[in-house]
Amino acid sequence: MTLPVDAVEALEAFQAVGSWEQRARMLMQWGERLPALADEDKVDANLVQGCESLVWLVGRLENGHWQFAASSDARMIRGLVALLLARVNGLSAAELQAVDLPEWFNQLGLSRQLSPSRSNGLNAVLQRMRTLSQTQN
Amino acid sequence: MLVPSPWRADFPAIATLQRQDQTYLDNAATTQKPQALLDAISHYYANGAANVHRAQHLPGAHATQAFEDSRSKVAQWLNAGDSGQIVFTHGATSALNLLAYGLEHLFTTGDEIVISALEHHANLLPWQQLAKRRGLELVVLPLNADGVIDVEAAVGLIGPRTRLLAVSQLSNVLGAWQPLETLLAMARPHGALTVVDGAQGIVHGRHDVQALGCDFYAFSSHKLYGPDGVGVLFGRNDALPHLRHWQLGGEMVQHADYHSASFRPAPLGFEAGTPPIAGVIGLGATLDYLSSLDPQAVLAHEAALHDYLLRGLKARNGVRVLGSPQVALVSFVVDGIHNADLAHLLTEQGIAVRAGHHCAMPLLKAMHLSGAIRVSLALYNDSDDLERFFEALDQALDMLR
């Protein structure tokens, strides 16, 4: 499976960083690139439960391809979500089912963000994405 | 160093954590353990484990002796004397749940249970759900601006319908001692039972349950430098008979046949199943260790560190301290910065602090906060730990602004 263009860019950028400061700054930059979520999507029904911050996630299949959109009031999780969307947006339903998302964050050098003790909500976001993709299949 | 800790080397994990570039400042969640505790648990397992209060064999006798010695040490630590019993549970949470289920039969519809707005979920949810089961009123005492239960408001809220008062001694979010003496004196004339959640209070200074005059006092061993999986419930002699047996099985029974049973009184009657024997023995060793320290020196050290922490935070732009913390911990937020972002960057720099709602969601909600960062201290922390924290905080704020 070939990586989406944004994912290739993310991978190159994150694999090149040396220090935690660079990684954190880059996360924030990716978060700022995340397109604004429409106000009508910022409703409780789209809130991901289990995050320390507010995270909204919506996703729909358009012409057989997934388009997710998300936002958060915290910057780091917004960056993590942006990296997630870079990997999954544009995938077909079958491709989304097949993608190993924890491995994706591992490749980015961000696997610690998925450890069970982290309450930043990335795990909850992945879970929510799985649920969304299953209900609309 | 401005505030060194003479007890730091007694806690081997601190050196290990330091080698991993970790600065441990999450002591209100759990504490590191003294070598004396590690030795005691190792000695127990290396010299013959056995169940307690059951067997006549020698290992059983040794285990039971050590287990009961720990009970006496806890009683001494609380100055319980002959005034009550020490029941071992699995933590403060399980002690408070034991009370909420074991006292349930005393309540009828319309009775009131009084708690405060700053309770940890462990001293909120058992009473909230008991109130739901029995159709009771859960009365929540408000706080003043300093994060202390408002005693003037309490005068109007504690009354003849109050059947039980359950309050924290020291807030795990606001770090403020609560006016227990005044509140207990308000509850007593109405015949209300009084429960003190000592989970945080027990760790700072010595507390005398006879002087306090509460009916029940609960705490967790692991916050007091002891093993986890062990809790303590002190019950006063005239309050304990109200407590019905809750968890059943094991040596808590006096006599059993297929269709009926009778149970032992406290403490054994409330220690169903095999208790955490090694943990209880370990707690005894921790109390021996703590008893060997100069209490005035420990108090002075904790006060100096807390002052250092509070001054450092207040000196920084945009930092807002929650309430008026007096001891042990400081919770704070930074204007314009999400606590989750700050927590992320502190974690990256090896600073172990707690972020979020601190198991007190309604309190944070009432303060219109989604969360806060909490720095909490122990006797092995020193001012270098706090300098590392401040450095990391400045770096994080610099990156986020």
Question: Which residues of chain B have a CB within 8 Å of the CB of A21?
Answer: 395, 399
Tell whether B127 and B235 lie within a shared domain: yes
Mind telling me how many Å the CA of A76 is from chain B's nearest CA?
A: 6
ipTM, two decimals: 0.91
| Cβ distance of A52 and B371 shorter than 8 Å | yes
Closest Cβ–Cβ partner in B341, B349, B395 for A75: B341
The span from the CA of B149 to the CA of B118, in Å, is: 8
Tell whether B193 and B310 lie within a shared domain: no
Strands, sheet with B84-89, edge to edge from the N-terminal-most edge strand: B84-89, B231-236, B216-220, B193-197, B162-168, B112-116, B137-141
The span from the CA of B263 to the CA of B270, in Å, is: 9
CB-based contact B88:B276 (threshold 8 Å):
yes
**Token match 């172990």: residue?**
B352
Q: Is A50 on the interface with B (CB under 8 A)?
A: no
Looking at residue A120, what is its pLDDT? 64
The residue range of the domain holding B286 is 38-291
DSSP at B33 = -
pLDDT in tens, chain B (401 residues): 899 999 999 999 999 999 999 999 999 999 999 999 999 999 999 999 999 988 889 999 999 999 999 999 999 999 999 999 999 999 999 999 999 999 999 999 999 999 999 999 999 999 999 999 999 999 999 999 999 999 999 999 999 999 999 999 999 999 999 999 999 999 999 999 999 999 999 999 999 999 999 999 999 999 999 999 999 999 999 999 999 999 999 889 999 999 999 999 999 999 999 999 999 999 999 999 999 999 999 999 999 999 999 999 999 999 999 999 999 999 999 999 999 999 999 999 999 999 988 889 999 999 999 899 999 999 999 999 999 999 999 999 999 99
Q: Which of A7, A51, A55, A81 is catalytic?
A: A51
In a domain, B33, yes or no: no
Tell whether B45 and B179 lie within a shared domain: yes
Tell whether B264 and B352 lie within a shared domain: no
Mind telling me how many Å the CA of B340 is from chain A's nearest CA?
A: 6
What distance lies between CA A95 and its chain's CA centroid?
16
In a domain, B31, yes or no: no
Closest Cβ–Cβ partner in A20, A25, A74 for B340: A74
What distance lies between CA B315 and its chain's CA centroid?
30
Cα separation values, A62 from A68, A91, A93, B346, Å = 10, 10, 10, 40
The residue range of the domain holding A97 is 5-135
DSSP at B26 = B
Which helix (H) or strand (E) segment is B260 a member of? strand B260-263
> What is the total count of domains within chain A?
1
Looking at residue A119, what is its pLDDT? 61
The span from the CA of A55 to the CA of B369, in Å, is: 16
The span from the CA of B336 to the CA of A24, in Å, is: 18
Instruction: Convert the pLDDT of each residue in A63-118 to its tens digit.
Output: 999 999 999 999 999 999 999 999 999 999 889 988 999 999 999 999 888 877 66
Considering the entire predicted model, what is its pTM?
A: 0.94
The span from the CA of B195 to the CA of B162, in Å, is: 13
The span from the CA of B69 to the CA of B286, in Å, is: 13
Mind telling me how many Å the CA of A57 is from chain B's nearest CA?
A: 18
Task: Considering only residues A119 and B96, tell me which one the structure prediction assigns the higher pLDDT.
Answer: B96
Tell whether B188 and B95 lie within a shared domain: yes
Tell whether B225 and B302 lie within a shared domain: no
CB-based contact B171:B145 (threshold 8 Å):
no
CATH number of the domain to which B185 belongs: 3.40.640.10
CATH number of the domain to which A82 belongs: 3.90.1010.10
**Token match 């050290």: residue?**
B301
Looking at residue B308, what is its pLDDT? 98
Spatial neighbors of A24 by CB under 8 A, at least 6 apart, are A76, B344, B345, B348, B399
